[in-house]
Amino acid sequence: MSSAPVTALDAIVEELQQAGKLLVTTHENPDGDALGSLLAFDEMMRALGKDTIMFMSATNFPLPHEYQHLPLERVVHDPPPDMEERTAVFLDCGNIDRMPVDFLQREGQHILNIDHHHDNTRFGTVNLVVGDASCTAEILWELARELGVEITQSMAEALYIALITDTGRFMYDNTTARSHVMAAELIEAGVDVAGIYRQLYQDLPFPRLQLLARALASVRRYDNGRLTVSHLTRPDFGETGALESDAEGVVDHLRSVEGTAVAALIRDLVDRDARKVSLRATDGRVDVSVIARSLGGGGHRQAAGATTEMPFEQLIDHIRAGVSAQL
């Protein structure tokens, strides 16, 4: 006899309550949601008395400037010797190859997959994929309540960083009344709103502004402005002293132009002959994750990305065709 169907949330709650040891991780090139979720989840598990560790490859460090103040001292960069006993928890990770680490991909690894990417490949043993959550942190916020964990100030700040970065400071389409209720609760739990804003959006290195200037100077528009593209080349990084991670966020400036349906930032990688494409949709009819997937990447309807070796001009044609096919 089968018992009443359990929701994915119930299943994850039960898994976490029963788990002995945990290892928590997130996707490579982590963003605010990845890091905030990692920190908040780690603290939630410790509040439950769990033996838990955070794992991220050393190649992700140093982090972008705005995340360097986060309390990530407990993050380990090597597989723990007792990994066989640990349940792996993936946060904000649409597919397992976004954390390309062999020891986490071994056969038989017990995996809990908690994420909000609608195209999540459900690679976990147990999956909690909530496509309409604004960020993974929003799922964790609900999970904390289910687990009876009280949100501390440090948890609230980690969750808040995740929330405001993934919603573009409450401006993207994924922003809901729930996101604002969550923000309100987190602020009541002690978030220093202005302090976090300063940390994330001010006090940034000058080379980042110089990189933005170059990106804006390179803007090209296609198909009557429907597609707006900037291109950052290796010299743009070399001559300004900007880091690759300083290009994050540049694409958001491109979608401010009237008539734009899709904004794209293409940046040449510094270490190999390939390009990273960041796509943003401003027209609700376009799902840029479809275009990203056609290039081997993925993401959300409104924000997606891929890394490709396709030559630049061919890549432009590919994106134009991908946009045209949807309009």
Say how far apart CA 95 and CA 88 lie, in whole Å: 14
Structure tokens at 183: 């923000």
15, 42, 43, 92: which one contacts Mn ion (CB under 5 A)?
A: 92
Q: Which is nearer to Mn ion, 92 or 248 (CB)?
A: 92
- Say whether 153 sits in a helix, a strand or coil: helix
Q: Which is nearer to Mn ion, 32 or 322 (CB)?
A: 32
In whole angstroms, how close is the CB of 133 to Mn ion at the nearest point? Answer: 9
DSSP label at 297? Answer: -
In whole angstroms, how close is the CB of 238 to Mn ion at the nearest point? Answer: 31
Only segment of 31-39, 177-185, 212-220, 238-246 that touches Mn ion (CB under 5 A):
31-39
Q: Is 325 exposed, middle or buried (0-12, 13-18, 19+ CB in 10 A)?
A: exposed
116-154 burial string, b = 16+ CB within 10 Å, else e? Answer: bbbbbbebbebbbbbeebbbbbbbbbbbbeebebebbee
Say how far apart CA 85 and CA 78 lie, in whole Å: 16
Only segment of 5-13, 131-139, 215-223, 269-277 that touches Mn ion (CB under 5 A):
131-139
Only segment of 12-20, 30-38, 250-258, 291-299 that touches Mn ion (CB under 5 A):
30-38
Structure tokens at 191: 């978030």
Q: Which is nearer to Mn ion, 33 or 157 (CB)?
A: 33
Residue 33 in contact with Mn ion, rule: CB under 5 A: yes
Q: Which is nearer to Mn ion, 99 or 135 (CB)?
A: 135
x/- letters, 159..188, toward Mn ion (CB under 5 A) = -------x----------------------
Angle (CA) 292-91-255 rounded to 5° is 35
The CA distances from residue 326 to 80, 119, 150, 277, 285, in Å, are: 46, 18, 45, 18, 7
Q: Which is nearer to Mn ion, 179 or 228 (CB)?
A: 179
Residue 248 in contact with Mn ion, rule: CB under 5 A: no
Return the bridge partners of 304, or none. 279, 299
Residue 138 in contact with Mn ion, rule: CB under 5 A: no
Q: Which is nearer to Mn ion, 120 or 240 (CB)?
A: 120
Question: Which chain residues interact with Mn ion by CB under 5 A?
Answer: 33, 92, 135-136, 166
